[in-house]
Amino acid sequence: MISSVRLKPLTWHPHIAPVELSEATTEQLDAMKVTPSAKKVSEYVRTLVHDPESYVARTVLFNAIMYVEGGLARPDRELGALGASIVNGCKFCAVVHARRHAELTNSDDLVTALYLDKPEALGPRDAAIYSLARRLSAAPSQATADDIASLRSVGMDDIEIIDLIHAISIFGWANRLMHVLGHAESG
């Protein structure tokens, strides 16, 4: 019996100076009324708001993909996010979404299997989701029609598969911001 992995949150610091609230323009202040996952105005938000237009557009889309009602179950979206974050090397995002998956499922089993690099321990549904997440993230050309067939064979409909493709792909975006513009530290 392997002991379960419990991850602690990391903190993120930008490589460039974030916008100081006291120096923010009206457009930047308005932009920061929308935040990822409706969290506080973090250093990450203040870094991205150097370009308020792309910040607002992406944050609105991100929140829709991760939280919109119906369709793919929340833990499955988190698994897509986690698989992408592992491939893309974003430790900060991986820890956040591993913890959300564990909270939503009341179980550390999946996170333990992935952090101990034992994906063979996943059930068929999780395995099919994780496989597409890894391949589509590594390079779009690595994903195949067989990956979609695997999702259909575990009972996923087209709406759920479209939701999953978006959850994986939006982390192809988020990881390229968080892991590129800053670094994560323990504690």
Partner 1 sequence: MIDAMDKAAGLSPDDALFSARRFRPEFVQGAEECLLSVLLPANDHGLAASLRVALARRMAALNADQALMVEYNAQLADLDPTEQLLALAQGATDLDEPLATIARHVDLITLTPNKAEASDITRLAQAGLNNPQIVALSELIAFVNFQTRVATGLRLMRSA
Q: Is 137 among the residues that bind partner 1 (CB under 8 A)? A: yes
* Residue 3 or 141 having the CB closest to partner 1: 141
* Residue 107 or 144 having the CB closest to partner 1: 144
Q: Is 177 among the residues that bind partner 1 (CB under 8 A)? A: yes
DSSP 133: H
* Residue 2 or 140 having the CB closest to partner 1: 140
State the Cα angle at 44 between 8 and 31, rounded to 5°.
135
Handedness of CA 164, 170, 139, 120 (dihedral sign): negative
Residues 96-125 that bind partner 1 (CB under 8 A): none
Residue with tokens 């491939």: 87
| Choice from 5, 71, 73, 125 touching partner 1 (CB under 8 A) | 71
Specify the amino acid at residue 144.
T
| Choice from 92, 102, 115, 175 touching partner 1 (CB under 8 A) | 175
Residues 15-54 that bind partner 1 (CB under 8 A): 15-17, 47-48, 50-51, 53-54
- Residues in the site for partner 1, rule: CB under 8 A? 15-17, 47-48, 50-51, 53-58, 60-61, 64-65, 68, 71, 87-90, 132, 136-137, 139-141, 143-149, 152, 158-159, 161-163, 165-166, 168-170, 172-177, 179-181, 183
